[in-house]
Amino acid sequence: MGEDGVGAQYPWHWAADVVLRDGATMHIRPIRPDDADALQRMHLAQSPESVYFRFFAPVPRLGEKDLYRFTHVDHHDRVALVMVDGAEIRAVGRFDVVAPGEAEVAFNVVDTERGRGLGSVLLEHLAAAARELGVTRFVADVLPANARMVRVFVDAGYEVSQHLDDGVLSISFSIEETERSWQVMAERERHTEALSMGGLLQAASVVVLGLGAQGEEGQVLAGRVAQSLAAGSFAGPVHVVGTAAGGPTAEPGRPRARTQVHRAIGEVPGPVDLAVVAGPPQDVVGSVPALRDLGVRAMVVLSHGFGESGPAGMARQRELLRRTRAAGIRVVGPASFGVVGHGPAGRYNATLWLEDDVSTAGTASTASDGATGLGLFAQSLAAGLALRSAAARRGLPVATAVSAGNRVDVSGNDTMQFWSQHPATAVGAVVLESMGNPRKFSRIARRLSASTPLVAVVSGQTGQATPPGHAVRTSREPQRVLTEMLRQAGVVRARTVREMLDVAALMLTQPLPAGPRTAVVSSSAALAGLVSDVLRAEGLEVAGEPVTLPPLAGAAQYEEALARLTDRDDFDAVIVAHAAPLATTDREVAAVIARAAAQDPRTWVVSLYGLHGLSEALTAEGRRVPAMGTVEDAVTALAGVVQHARWRTGAADPLVAPPGIDPAGARRVLAGPLGEVAPHERRRLDPATTQALLARYGIEILPAVPVRDADEAVAAADTTGWPVALKVSDAVLRHRMDLGGVRLDVADSDALREAMTQMRARAERVLGHPVTFEVQAMAPPGVACVVRGSEDDLYGPVVAFGLGGDATELLGDVSYRIPPLTARDVSEMVRSVRAAPRLLGHRGLPPVDVAALEDVLARVSMLTDDLPEVAEVLLNPVIVGEEGVQIASAVVTVAHPLRQDAGRRALPEPPAEPGDDAGDARRAEVG
């Protein structure tokens, strides 16, 4: 046991940094014996009323026995969590197991911290720890006057029962996660994380700190940001420290009157919201205390030399995060390109991009005060530069931008949470090189996409490899899981930044199309034919015959043709492809197209020589029509927008909730076997336990009788009922009829004995060892399918579906989804595999009972979502007949859970030192 009294059984994975209701951060962890003095100080600072509510009696001071009992817990039957701010305890939550599956819970929050949401955070973390230990219900005795305590339980989304007995209110509620409790947690998380981004994207004042020698990275990068801020419209104070005004900041944007230059950070008058820092890594880390004293709420680190530079740099990166967390400062970077935000004093550009560097065909590439625009998110400095420059070339207004760099703290998830409460960010454009918590990303993106469209470019190695400087997990699943996750969340996935910004421009300026029917207008018959072909290839429909004009058609002819077109009601979108035989930009034609689009409620997109992105030439009555570089770009962008519009029609669908689900009972089934599993070990459940577990989710398996010889096989068949299936038990052959591992429709004892003799000889020759068998009742004929649920290190629960057979595996004809699922998710899973026609009536065969198959998929999705202890559940084969399904085999593997998104709010944890088991546990739990 260490000096602080923490032993090997201390549950490090329960520790986390959390965001409070006001956007500030605090640390939560299990209590330790050395917390006694801090606990006493907390108690002495409480009001008499608060002490009475907690102990039901006046307790001026905690006695030594009480202090010992409160701080010495076993982290199993007695659990206590504390929320700490430095050395001081601000809140305590604890539970004591009083009966199997039931624990008494209590809270105590410092009077000065009330109203910041400490109680609700404690409840989430206590409930998560309790579920891990097999507790399913909390009880509490509360004085009727203690309304705050009761409200914490009710507001968490639990169904609370209460009754008054002898002047005390007895409260009881199940802590099983429900859709409502998840919604409550997610809404609180969204609110607090968005608030915590306020210092970054809604700052009222900025300090730019250049560290290191003149001419080196710190000075150059800080000086460039000072230029960017001075060149913009931000009217708040900008303090420049350590970068000479006559040096890198002098040209091209000389500091304005609101910019104040200081020789040292101590000269800066506080408070300041946002700090932009660059310099040698040790100096950047060393600047945190001074920034804390200034009241800085967010810090952007531009410079390099951290995690991307090797183990020593990763250690500096860990130290940076630890210091900023302790100071309550959110961090962007290191290796960030900067941020764009909009605070009380206006819009500020705290990036390395001077926004007047590129002319944009007469259109400003910044969102003016109060105007809507794009939200940009990228990670590396290079990606940030590519994204910002491409947006500028298209004249796309930028409302907010974050370049997360090594993504040590602030991530795409945080940025999307902010966008969800920022009306000026109308469309999100995201470039991802890694994902720290994809399940949380999916949850946030799904909610955001319902109101704010999202478009993403994802690196081909995202999820499969760790980029330099990033501390993230990797996945064992194929990259298609990521593709399906994005589609499921309503995110349009683009292949390139160019394609992403084309889609974003269309979403930013045009209404979403009501359907896929697309009218084609062109001054070239050949070009109209090409557009029609590309539309069909993208899954869109060509509405009627293309409208073809003469090659030299002018404004008058276009005006007449478009007037006739807009009178039609057989299309949802329009693509105008204007050819330019003389290689000149016809602005009169552009003006006619813009006026027609402004008067039509449908979606318009243009390919017109000389125009790209947004321009005044294609603007009328306040509405802009985006111009694409090629007709292929126009069609691809339209296809992405149609895909998103179609997804929105089911965005509010409820989650699947089949009857007969008992997660608490399932945990009781798993408690014994899981207790015998060592950390980092996976173990397969025996058939009886497997059947008992699946039964808690309404999944029934055809019983199979293990047998060793022919006599046992015949006896089993007599009991089961003839005909039967005979299977080799070994995992390699148990489903392989083609390799002699299965014999079906065995009708009598002689045939069974002969089949066993032949199968044994072949199996032992193939496998090289003796085998056993199973006898099973025959299922009705049907289509064999495979359903798998697994717990992935990166994604968490993943559900997969495909038809049975080698062809499915070899061709990768498998669909994936990340729970929780809606009915539409489940339906699309079944219908998205290429072999789906076999289920729906192929070549005149009758369709099978797809509804029964979807019910099995829904139940497996709930099981994998509820039980992170289930490392894998494999149902193979699931035989889908004309009426109902029969599951012939099931295998369940369990392990200790390492899920990142576990029903409690937590910020990403600092990466652990190599070989630091406690740190590995902390990182594994909170991501």
Q: Does 370 have pLDDT greater than 60?
A: no
Give the N- to C-terminal CA distance of the chain in Å, as an integer. 26
Rounded CA-CA distance 193/201 in Å is 12
**Predicted confidence band at 914 (pLDDT cuts at 50, 70, 90)?**
very low
Question: Model confidence over 89-130: pLDDT tens digits?
Answer: 999 999 999 999 999 999 899 999 988 999 999 999 999 999
The one-letter amino acid code at 28 reads I
**Predicted confidence band at 477 (pLDDT cuts at 50, 70, 90)?**
confident
Question: Model confidence over 165-184: pLDDT tens digits?
Answer: 888 899 999 998 888 888 89
Rounded CA-CA distance 374/501 in Å is 9
Supply φ then ψ for residue 44, to 5 degrees.
-65, -25
Q: How far is CA 914 from the centre of its chain?
A: 26
Rounded CA-CA distance 248/189 in Å is 41
Residue 466: the pLDDT is 61
Segment of 380-389, 475-484, 826-835 carrying the highest mean pLDDT = 826-835
What's the mean per-residue pLDDT of the chain? 89
| Runs of H (alpha helix) within 493-612 | 497-509, 525-537, 555-566, 587-598
Residue 362: the pLDDT is 35
**Predicted confidence band at 703 (pLDDT cuts at 50, 70, 90)?**
confident
Question: Model confidence over 741-774: pLDDT tens digits?
Answer: 889 889 999 999 999 999 999 888 888 899 999 9
CA angle at 630 for the pair 626 and 633, rounded to the nearest 5°? 70
Residues contacting residue 8 through CB under 8 Å, at least 6 positions apart: none
Judge whether 278 and 226 are in contact, CB under 8 Å. Answer: no
CA angle at 573 for the pair 570 and 578, rounded to the nearest 5°? 110
**Predicted confidence band at 465 (pLDDT cuts at 50, 70, 90)?**
low
Q: Does 4 have pLDDT greater than 90?
A: no
Q: Does 456 have pLDDT greater than 70?
A: yes
Of residues 266, 265, 268, 241, the one with CA closest to residue 255: 241
Question: Model confidence over 581-633: pLDDT tens digits?
Answer: 888 989 999 999 999 999 999 999 999 999 999 999 999 999 999 999 999 99
Rounded CA-CA distance 433/459 in Å is 5
Residues contacting residue 512 through CB under 8 Å, at least 6 positions apart: 603, 641, 644, 645, 648
Q: Does 660 have pLDDT greater than 90?
A: yes
Q: Does 88 have pLDDT greater than 70?
A: yes
Judge whether 387 and 429 are in contact, CB under 8 Å. Answer: yes
Q: Which residue has the tokens 């409208």?
A: 547
Rounded CA-CA distance 419/400 in Å is 9
Angle, helices 438-449 vs 412-419, to 10°: value is 20
Query: Lowest-confidence range among 164-168, 467-471, 633-637?
Result: 467-471
Question: Model confidence over 45-84: pLDDT tens digits?
Answer: 999 998 888 888 888 899 999 999 999 999 999 999 999 9
Residue 387: the pLDDT is 94
Q: What is the 3-state secondary structure (H, E, C) of 872-927?
A: EEEEEEEEECCCCEEECCEEEEECCCCCCCCCCCCCCCCCCCCCCHHHHHHHHHHC
Half-sphere exposure of 126 (CA within 13 A, CB side): 35
Helix, strand, or coil (residue 127):
helix
* Neighbour tally for 583: CB within 10 Å: 7
Residues contacting residue 43 through CB under 8 Å, at least 6 positions apart: 51, 59, 61, 62
Of residues 926, 918, 916, 904, the one with CA closest to residue 181: 904
Rounded CA-CA distance 180/157 in Å is 6
Residue 230: the pLDDT is 92
Residue 436: the pLDDT is 78
Angle, helices 749-767 vs 710-720, to 10°: value is 130
Residues contacting residue 305 through CB under 8 Å, at least 6 positions apart: 280, 281, 313, 316, 334
Q: Does 737 have pLDDT greater than 90?
A: no
Residue 903: the pLDDT is 74
Residue 177: the pLDDT is 84
Of residues 65, 37, 66, the one with CA closest to residue 51: 66
Give the pTM: 0.86
Query: Lowest-confidence range among 249-253, 389-393, 875-879?
Result: 249-253
